Amino acid sequence: MKKAVLVSFLILGAFDIFSQVLNPVKWTYSVNKISDSEAELIFKAIIEDKWHLYSAYVGEGGPLPTVFNYEKSNKFELTGKVAESPKPEKVYDEMFAMDVLFFSHKATFTQKIKLLTDKSFKIKGTIEYMSCDDSKCIPLESDFEFKIESQKKNDDSLNTNNFYTQTDTSLSVIDSLPADSNIKTSTNINTLKESATDDSIFYTTKIDENASLWWFFVLAFVAGLAAILTPCVFPMIPMTVTFFMHSNKSKAKARLTASFYGLSIIAIYTVIGTIVAITFGANFANWLSTHWIPNVFFFLIFLFFAASFLGMFEITLPSWMVNKADKQADKGGFSGAFFMAFTLVLVSFSCTGPIVGAILVESAGGQILKPIIGMFGFSLAFALPFTLFALFPSWLSGLPKSGGWLNSVKVVLGFIELALGLKFLSIADQTYHWGILDREIYLAFWIIIFALMGFYLLGKLKFSHDSDLKHIGVPRLMLAIITFTFVIYLIPGMFGAPLKALSGYLPPQSSHDFDLNQIIRDNVKLYSGQGNTEPTSTCEKAKYSDFLHLPHGLDGYFDYNQALECSKKQNKPLFIDFTGHGCVNCREMEANVWSDPRVLKKLREDFIVVALYVDDKTDLPENEWITSTYDGKIKKTVGKKYADLQISRFNVNAQPYYVLLDTNGEILTEPRAYNLDVEAFINFLDKGIESYKNRKQ
């Protein structure tokens, strides 16, 4: 009664789709010199699609206008009011009961100033503004800084400072960093430009949200198609056809009712996604994906369904729920079609419930649109065949009859459920350092599970409800060959083989007790006189190194301050890896990109590496607790401290996320997220090294 192989892998593989802290307006600033005593300060706003920015001249009682606040100075004074272009859109807003002015896509604000000195000086301040889309509004604040050059200078260098791009960073967010963090913010853009030769430090990371949503829609759609083949859903197709063949005499009315039936299925599932989107937020998603309670619960749920699939018992909903809906369906008409759809959802829940749950777990990240899109994609695919068979009942004759083959599908899915359920237990095990499901134990389970599945496909195992199998067909033989091939592929992993194709689903290589490759590397180090396992002889021992480890035998740190201190002592740039125990994409990056000899050489020789686990549950001593002004909460664990650091400093809350800093904590080049392009990652490291050398010079 449950889920298909492909869907399980796709959904679990999608758990780490990236998302940013919302800030849909990006600002750039420039100075236009009119004369020796006059200039224009130009603020340009780039606004993301479907968002808008309010004018500076919104009337009283309306939304927050765009306001420019300047630090007091006796070196300039404002002349007139701020000018806006292009002309803002004017729309009547029912919420505020008034006409409001706003910009879409882009806006330019220009403020004339009178210069009261001929010396160089800086103009600093903040912009307070509100940005809204169709479902939410976000009050934001961004700091700005202009550099007005001395009138005595007249060289080309003036032009290079007249325009620069600044990463939007909220002052309240920056203030949320702990006092001892040793992180210096990069909001002083002019200072950075004077010390850097590479404009690559001036970036705002931007995830292609539309592409992410389309990909999520495709995953959900595939999940919906696979759900149709589950044993408790497939038999509902003949019931659907029977209902629509006999409930209406008019063919036209029957087809209209059938269309309403399909729309009802979509509506019922999509409402679930909407409720989850409104009710739950990002904190819930983080708790759901990393805390031991939900992960152990999901593991037990998978075991429960696996036992049912293997024939231990049948899962059924309470009869009163099904009967009540079924009685309404007997009334016919549009109400009958709706309750027929509701009956389908209830009866099929034991098969579709875990798939729907996986979609909602993935989408419960504080977004309104994403879970709705996920549920819409799933329900669209799920409703499609039922609607088509309701429209064209004669198609039923071409379908294979449900029977023994469906039970075989159920048993195979039971094995898959059993294997995939271990992933949830593994996440809890890694996050809390229980040490009960290390890599080789995990692999041993998988090898046994899939070997048994292969024997079942060959007819060597038989479960209750299985039909007698006198011979096996070619398709079943092909599946058995694929299964045993997969088992053979897994076996070298017991001795330390990286198994790159499965890196996102297995515990990290560092949890492997008998890693033959690591044993060989350690012996080579020992006999070559490099047996010291400390990150460096001039730096202190890494905190948390007794239970946290870097991949591929790399030496490094797991505490930011400690790593930055070592960076200063060694005169090396800092490589920050924001990662997580439950991060599938992090493991894929380590297995497929970090494993490249060129990448390993650069990380080992040219950087101080620090891995900051944002989901680690290790308690911090009280003197290391921090209070974040980002959400106003006290951070008491290693993971919460560094999750807050990532959001506060870089305005990003997705992993993996790689940042290169100099010894003063300043960004060297554009941070990098998940991307399996090895050459691009090498270029990223090279840019950081080059920028670091230029700053030192």
Asked if 647 and 691 sit in the same domain, the reply is yes
Asked if 162 and 294 sit in the same domain, the reply is no
Q: Which two tokens stand for residue 140?
A: 């934001």
Return the DSSP state at 473. Answer: -
Pairing of strands 52-54, 38-47: unpaired
Give the chain's domain count.
4
Indicate the pLDDT class of residue 22, thresholds 50, 70 and 90.
Answer: low
Whether 596 maps to a domain, the answer reads yes
Return the DSSP state at 316. Answer: -
| Window from 194-208, 417-431, 614-628 with minimum mean pLDDT | 194-208
What value does the mean pLDDT take over residues 429-451? 88
The C-alpha torsion from 462 through 468 and 471 to 474, rounded to 10°, is -70
Asked if 283 and 313 sit in the same domain, the reply is yes
Whether 194 maps to a domain, the answer reads no
- pLDDT of 280 > 80? The answer is no
Return the DSSP state at 382. Answer: H
Return the DSSP state at 590. Answer: I
More confident residue, 680 or 232: 680
Percent of the chain with pLDDT over 90: 20
Asked if 588 and 461 sit in the same domain, the reply is no
Q: What are phi and psi of 6, to 5 degrees?
A: -60, -45
What value does the mean pLDDT take over residues 619-639? 85
What value does the mean pLDDT take over residues 151-163? 40
- pLDDT of 375 > 60? The answer is yes
Asked if 543 and 525 sit in the same domain, the reply is no
Which residues are within 8 A (CB) of 159 and not within 5 positions of it... i.e. 6 or more apart? none
Asked if 459 and 596 sit in the same domain, the reply is no
Pairing of strands 98-104, 52-54: antiparallel
DSSP 156-213: THHHHHSEEE-----HHHHTTS-TT--PPP---HHHHHHH-S-GGG-------HHHHH
- pLDDT of 609 > 90? The answer is yes
Asked if 289 and 154 sit in the same domain, the reply is no
Whether 420 maps to a domain, the answer reads no
- 146 DSSP β-pair partners: 123
- pLDDT of 530 > 60? The answer is no
- 30 DSSP β-pair partners: 42, 163
The C-alpha torsion from 531 through 536 and 539 to 545, rounded to 10°, is -60
Query: Residue 86, preceding bond cis, omega within 30 degrees?
Result: yes
Indicate the pLDDT class of residue 94, thresholds 50, 70 and 90.
Answer: low
More confident residue, 525 or 22: 22
Q: What are phi and psi of 161, to 5 degrees?
A: -100, 0
Indicate the pLDDT class of residue 232, thresholds 50, 70 and 90.
Answer: low
Whether 630 maps to a domain, the answer reads yes
- pLDDT of 28 > 70? The answer is yes
pLDDT at 600: 92
| Window from 314-328, 343-357, 481-495, 524-538 with minimum mean pLDDT | 524-538
Domain boundary among 106, 137, 167: 167
Whether 334 maps to a domain, the answer reads yes
- pLDDT of 645 > 80? The answer is yes
pLDDT at 212: 64
Which helix (H) or strand (E) is 578 found in, with range?
strand 574-579
Whether 570 maps to a domain, the answer reads yes
Task: Give the integer Cα–Cα distance in Å for 53 and 127.
Answer: 12
More confident residue, 463 or 630: 463
Whether 674 maps to a domain, the answer reads yes
Asked if 266 and 366 sit in the same domain, the reply is yes
What value does the mean pLDDT take over residues 521-534? 53
Q: What are phi and psi of 34, to 5 degrees?
A: -90, -45
Asked if 546 and 469 sit in the same domain, the reply is no
Can you state the angle between helices 369-391 and 349-363, rounded to 10 degrees? 150
More confident residue, 350 or 206: 350
pLDDT at 650: 83
Residue length of the chain: 697
Q: Which two tokens stand for residue 204?
A: 């705002």
Asked if 218 and 235 sit in the same domain, the reply is yes
pLDDT at 210: 53
**How many other C-beta atoms lie within 10 A of the C-beta of residue 273?**
27
Highest mean pLDDT among 96-110, 163-177, 476-490 belongs to 476-490
Asked if 665 and 578 sit in the same domain, the reply is yes
Q: What are phi and psi of 296, to 5 degrees?
A: -65, -35
pLDDT at 241: 60
Domain boundary among 113, 137, 167: 167
Q: What digits encode the pLDDT tens for the residues 381-416?
A: 878 877 776 677 555 555 555 556 667 877 887 898
Asked if 483 and 566 sit in the same domain, the reply is no
- 91 DSSP β-pair partners: 100
- pLDDT of 177 > 60? The answer is no
More confident residue, 251 or 597: 597
Q: Which domain holds residue 466?
A: 438-531
Whether 416 maps to a domain, the answer reads no
Are 486 and 442 in contact, with CB atoms under 8 Å apart? no
Q: What digits encode the pLDDT tens for the residues 654-693?
A: 788 999 999 998 999 999 988 889 999 999 999 999 999 9
pTM of structure: 0.45
CA-based max dimension of the chain: 98
- 114 DSSP β-pair partners: 38, 77
Task: Give the integer Cα–Cα distance in Å for 355 and 6.
Answer: 12
pLDDT at 433: 76
- pLDDT of 187 > 70? The answer is no
